[in-house]
């Protein structure tokens, strides 16, 4: 196995599956992550614990880009879930900003996940060698496209709901 996981790495990976699964559930059920639902709350808790457990992981021995993305994901998620809905001066933009913040946090959560998955699996012969590998770069570009299309569809859905 080229890149064995530490015990913390295994725990972090398992915890990181919580926001992944409940986030996907929210997208399938409500077309967005709804912070007022049990799955939305599980997403926020899972994301928080996932980011905090990532701080103990570093191949460079210090802060790495994955840590920075984690902090940005927390800011986006909690800004979208708690801050945006309370800013009355934003008016009708509040649900859009809430949806964008939570979706952007999901997007950011998956960036290191894509790199790590492609760089570790299959265990005997990983598909990529690291973040600079063309396979990872192509997958991340596809992920950006999925995110942009998804956010556009979410905004369209919110607009349609507001008009009804």
> For the segment 151-161, what is each residue's pLDDT rounded down to a tens digit?
999 999 999 98
Average pLDDT over residues 82-110: 95
CA dihedral 93, 31, 75, 18 (to 10 degrees): 160
Q: Is residue 1 very low, low, confident or very high in pLDDT (cuts 50, 70, 90)?
A: very low
Q: For residue 2, what pLDDT is reported?
A: 53
d(CA 43, CA 26): 9
| pLDDT for the residue 6 | 87
């Amino acid at each position: 196995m080229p890149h064995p996981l530490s015990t913390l790495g295994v725990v972090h990976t398992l915890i990181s599956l919580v926001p992944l699964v409940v986030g996907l559930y929210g997208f399938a059920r409500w077309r967005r992550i709804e912070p007022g639902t049990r799955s939305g709350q599980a997403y926020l808790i899972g994301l928080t614990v996932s980011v905090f457990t990532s701080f103990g992981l570093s191949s460079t021995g210090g802060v790495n880009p994955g840590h920075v993305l984690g902090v940005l994901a927390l800011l986006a998620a909690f800004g979208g879930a708690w801050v945006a809905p309370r800013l009355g001066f934003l008016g009708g933009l509040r649900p859009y900003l809430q949806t964008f913040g939570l979706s952007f946090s999901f997007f950011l959560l998956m960036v290191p996940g894509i790199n790590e998955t492609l760089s570790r699996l299959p265990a005997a012969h990983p598909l990529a060698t690291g973040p600079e590998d063309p396979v990872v770069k192509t997958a991340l570009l596809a992920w950006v496209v999925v995110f942009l299309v998804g956010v556009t569809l979410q905004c369209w859905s919110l607009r349609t709901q507001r008009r009804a």
